[in-house]
Every structure is written in C-alpha cells, then in structure tokens.
A and B are shown apart, each in its own frame.
Chain A
Amino acid sequence: MTGHTLLHIDGNLVRVKTGSSVAAALRVAGGMGAARTSVTGQSRAPFCGMGVCQECRVLIDGRRRLACQTVCGEGMRVETSE
C-alpha cells in the first residue's frame, strides 16, 4: 500500500496514503479531524476508532457512513455535518 489517494472533504481536495480511512483524511483536512456537530453545538471528532460511538458519521458520496470504517476512494466526496 504505497501511493496516494485524492478525495474531497467539504469541497477541498485532500491527499492521503492509499488505504487510509476517511477518519484519517478528516485529520489531514485540518484541525483534529472534526466530523460532526453535536445536538448542543459542540464539535466532535472520531472517538472510539472502531465503529461503535458513531461520532465520526459523515456523508460519503451522499450516504451516511462511519469515517473510521470507510477506506478512502479516489474522487470520493465527503461532507462533514457542520
């Protein structure tokens, strides 16, 4: 797994190592990798890292998925819920 993958996060082009999770790409995109805003307006980033807590849920190509359990694909469009 060498090489890189390019994907869009909230419209910005992000370059990650091929095979990286979308959670990793969120961090590369900026800050600590915020994925969503909580019901009281707090910023949340990937937390459990293994598909349990749902904090890293984002829209990937229009479908709600977990960033920590999704591998980045070339040209993928990721939208955080901010």
Chain B
Amino acid sequence: MTALEHCDVLIVGAGPAGMAAAVAAAPSGASIVVIDDNPVPGGQIWRDGPGASLPAAARKWRDALERHANIRVCSGTRVIAVPARNALLLEDAERGWRVQWKKLILCTGARELLLPFPGWTLPGVTGAGGLQALIKAGLPVEGERIVIAGSGPLLLAAAATARAAGAKVARIAEQASFAAVAGFAANLWRWPGKAAQSVMLADPQYRTSSRIASARGSTQVESVRLLQGGREVEIACDRVACGFGLTPNTQLGRLLGCTLTAEGAPALVVDARQLTSLSDVYAAGECTGFGGSERALAQGTIAGYTAVGNERAAKQHEAERARWSAFAAQLHRSFALAPEIRQMPQPDTLVCRCEDVPFSALADCTGWTDAKLHRRCGMGACQGRVCGDAAQFLFGWTPPAPRPPLSPVRIATLAGLVSEDGDRQ
C-alpha cells in the first residue's frame, strides 16, 4: 500500500500559472501542495539551469513560493493516475504515493507542436522551445551552426538563447507570411514589455513564408533544405530546431472528465473564475489555451484566490487577464499554420517516433483507433503525445483518450491504484 497524504489545494504544474495560484491561495492558510515534473519550479518559460539567465519576474515568483510555510513544492514528480475522485497517484525518483485534495488546480502547461518532416528523427533535430530548454539545462552548443524553423515568437526566443550560448544561428525560417508577421509586430506596442519583440523582422537571418523541407545527414544532422517563398535552399548545419507553436496539455484534465474546447487545439474549458466543468477543479495557464506567461500569471492568480473562496481578490485581476487574452488572440491569428505544412512528410517519413510507423502506413487508416490497432501508431512510450498531435494536424484525427498510467511508471507505484476498498481500476 502506498502512502496517503492530504491537502486543501493541490496544484499540478509549477510554471507561471501554478506559482501564481499557490501564492494567491497561500494567505488563506490552506495547506497547499504544488507538484511539478521538472527539477525546479518555473515551468518551461522560466526553466533554470547552468545555461539559463532567469528574468527578475521568475526569481520574484520563486521566492514568493518559498516564503510561505503552507506551500509544499514537490519537484521531479509526475501524475500517474486518478485512483479515486479526489486523489492523484504520484511518483518521483524515490517513491510512489497518493495525495487527497479538496480543490485541484490544473496548471499543466503546453507542449510544443512537433510535426514530422524527412529527417526529423536524426540526432541533432529538436523542438525550437525544446532546444531552448536543453540549452538552459546545460546543453553545450558553442560553435554549432543551428537552423531554427517552424512558427511563432518562440523561434526568436530560441535563437536568442542559442546565440547567447555561443551558437551561430544560420537561419530562422518562419512559415507565416511577411504581412502576418509585420501586422503582429506593428500591434505589439499595445502590450507592455512586448514591443521589443518587434525587432524580429530586423534579424538578418529571419525569413517569412519559409518552411523546412528536410533535414539531412547519415548519423546526425549535416544540412537542412528549406523552402523559402517556393525556392529551395540548402544550408549546412549541425543542428535543426523546429517547432510549430504550442498545444495545451489536457491529458490529466481529460482523465478527470473536464470538458474540452471544440475549436482549435483542444484546451480545458474554464469559466470567469477559472473553474472547469467540474465543481472543484480549476485550470489556469496554457492548458486552457496557449496565451503566454502574463496571461498564465493572471489566470493562476484568479484560480488561486477563487479556490480558497476569495472571489473579491480574484475579480481585481480580471482586467489584466482580458488584456493578455487579447494578446493571445492576436498571436493565434498572426501565426496560424499554412495548409502546405501538411505536405511536409514523405511516404517513408516516420510519424510515430516510438514505434517507427511511417506516413505511408497511416494514409489509409480511418482514424486514430485504426492506426493504433493496426499500425501500432501511438502505442509507444510517449503514449501518442507527439504523433497524436501530428496526426490531428495531418489527418484531422481526434487525439487518443488518455488512459492511466499517464507516464511510464514503476510497478511498485502501481500498487497505489489499489485503494482502501480495493476495487478501483
């Protein structure tokens, strides 16, 4: 039998939303547990490490988290399953245990949309945000020639991180058109602190209407071919970082039974109080739809206050949330993916990286279940998180329903699924 712990408020995710939720809920005196799968709080955007230079805001929130004795942060911890209505089964490097909660706040963030193209499985190909995360965690890239491709402001952020670490950014290929990007940049003055991003168009390596055709190399990346406004160019490089925006992490929310949005990339539906379709489960940040850290902080603050019954304090952050939600809407419009991106995979391009299932094997499948049962697509260790997103974008298939365990798990932890009455799952 695994240990059972109790708390008033359980927060899943210690990025901006989760940190803000915990700090807002703390003055109530409630017992708060924050769990996070990374080694330290901060989420993807404020990831710390030997290659990271944390912004002042990140330090401020992390310090605030440490100041409250009633907030306990469990880093390096994953959610494995939902053993009972108000409990989660967790695992860290040492143990598995259950936590029973009264209010749950989902701040599970987003993952990068990673789409298949020829050569994307070669060592040296990473996500764009992925490269940024790896460098912050100490990946040495000094002297490497890097091509960054995909879509969104994250490409610029990845380029800045790579350059600061001594890499040579040979090209930044943005799939959106010049008109779309220029329109986005021209509107940035409306959001404080974002105007600096408008220099993106001035970067000598930045190209719009450009997408990746293939990464080439025998055992690792040696070059990349890009389609720049219809013209093909080849660039010699050591590394390719390619990301097409962000997809909300909704697995845990779906497993709990939370309703998802019907349009766009599925996100958790929340009301004005950040409450999901369940009466005691809140959600904040990127899992409610991609919108950036400022929106996540506002949403997290509102969720934290509401979860401990302080609706008056929550209301004071609604205007701020509305301002950053408008920014998010602008972002979505400007960097919408062009239909040609669907033409990137060739017949032999692997779509499922875990089971090595090529694009050609999926072309005649009727949907996700067919692909899974007959082609083993999505049956591997990532549980369809990468190929499920890709298949949704490429074929319009509904992503796979999450099933426990949500992460690969040790057998000893699974014993925690046997709850006191012994008949669950």
Residues of A within 8 A of B (CB): 1, 16-21, 23-25, 27-28, 31-34, 38-40, 42-55, 57, 63-65, 68-71
When the two chains form their complex, are residues B386 and A52 in contact, meaning their CB atoms are under 8 A apart?
yes
Contacts of B353 in A (CB 8 A): 38, 44, 47, 53, 55
Q: How far is the CA of A46 from the CA of B130 in the complex (A)?
A: 9
Contact status of A48 and B139, CB under 8 A, knowing A19-B49, A54-B354, A63-B93: no
A17 vs chain B, min Cβ distance (A) = 4
User: Which one of B57-65, B118-126, B392-400 is at the interface?
Assistant: B118-126
Residues A19 and B50 in contact, CB atoms below 8 Å apart: yes
Q: Binary interface profile of B, 237-270, with partner A (CB < 8 Å = 1, else 0)? A: 0110000000000000000000000000000000
Q: Add 8 more A-B contacts to A19-B138, A47-B125, A51-B38 (CB < 8 A).
A: A24-B51, A27-B140, A31-B219, A39-B354, A49-B127, A49-B137, A54-B408, A57-B408
* A-B pair number, CB within 8 angstroms: 135
Query: A44–B49 contact, CB under 8 A?
Result: no
User: In the complex, are the beta carbons of A52 and B111 less than 8 A apart?
Assistant: yes
CB of B221 closer than 8 Å to a CB of A: yes
Closest Cβ–Cβ distance, residue A78 to chain B (whole Å): 14
Q: How large is the interface on B (under 10, 10 to 19, 20 to 34, 35 or more residues)?
A: 35 or more
Contact of B162 with A by CB under 8 A: no
B221 touches A57 (CB 8 A): no
Nearest CB of chain A from residue B407's CB, rounded to whole Å: 9
Residue B131 interfacial (CB < 8 Å) = yes
Complex alpha-carbon distance, A24 and B134, angstroms: 7
Which residues of B sit under 8 angstroms from A57, Cβ to Cβ?
381, 408
Chain B residues in 8 Å Cβ range of A53: 114, 353, 382, 385-386
B254 CB → nearest A CB, Å: 16
Closest to B409 in A: A64
B166 at the binding interface (Cβ < 8 Å) = no
Note all chain B residues with C-beta closer than 8 A to A21.
39, 49, 134, 137-139
Cβ-defined contact, A31 with B134, below 8 A: no
Q: Within 8 Å CB of B121, what residues of A?
A: 38, 42, 44
| B29 CB → nearest A CB, Å | 32
Could you list which residues of chain B lie within 8 angstroms of chain A, going by C-beta atoms?
A: 37-39, 44, 49-51, 76, 93, 111-112, 114, 121, 123-127, 129-134, 137-140, 219-221, 238-239, 353-356, 380-382, 385-386, 408, 410
Knowing A69-B37, A71-B39, the reply to whether A48 touches B140 (Cβ < 8 A) is no
Contact indicator B382/A68 (Cβ below 8 Å): no
Residues B134 and A46 in contact, CB atoms below 8 Å apart:
yes
- B123 near A32 with CB under 8 A, answer yes
Closest to B125 in A: A47
CB distance from A68 to the nearest CB of B (A): 7
How far, in angstroms, from A63 to B93 measured CA to CA in the complex? 9
- Residue A69 contacts which of B76, B112, B130, B138 (CB distance < 8 angstroms)? B76
Chain B residues with CB under 8 A of A34: 123
The answer to whether A69 and B114 touch across the interface, beta carbons within 8 angstroms, is no
Pairwise interchain contact A50-B219, C-beta atoms closer than 8 A:
no
Cβ-defined partner of B39 (8 Å) among A39, A55, A70: A70
**A39 and B121 alpha carbons, distance in the complex (Å):** 13
CA distance A17 to B140 in the complex (A): 10
Query: Which of B114, B129, B139 is the most central at the interface, judged by chain A CB atoms within 10 Å of its CB?
Result: B139
Q: Are B50 and A32 in contact (CB-based, < 8 A)?
A: no
List the B residue with the shortest CB-CB distance to A50: B133
- Tell me the nearest residue of chain B to A56, going by C-beta: B134
Complex alpha-carbon distance, A45 and B124, angstroms: 7
Judge whether B124 and A32 touch: CB under 8 Å. yes
The interface residues of chain B lying within 8 Å CB-to-CB of A71 are: 39
Determine the chain A residues whose CB is within 8 A of the CB of B125 once the complex forms: 47
**A45→B405 CA distance, assembly (Å):** 24
Q: Which residue of A lies closest to B238 (CB)?
A: A32
- Tell me the nearest residue of chain A to B131, going by C-beta: A49
Contact between chains at B49 and A38 (CB < 8 Å): no
Report how far A42 CA is from B122 CA in the complex, Å.
Answer: 8
Across-interface contacts of B382 in A (CB, < 8 A) = 52-54
B356 touches A48 (CB 8 A): no
Interface-central residue, A28, A45, A53, A63, by most chain B CB under 10 Å: A53
CA distance A39 to B139 in the complex (A): 26
Q: A46-B126, A49-B131, A51-B38 are in contact. Are A20 and B49 (CB under 8 A)?
A: yes
Sample 26 A-B pairs with CB under 8 A, ordered by A number.
Answer: A1-B49, A16-B138, A21-B39, A21-B138, A24-B139, A31-B123, A32-B221, A38-B121, A39-B354, A45-B124, A45-B220, A46-B139, A49-B137, A50-B127, A50-B129, A50-B133, A51-B38, A52-B112, A52-B386, A53-B114, A53-B382, A54-B380, A57-B408, A65-B93, A68-B133, A68-B134
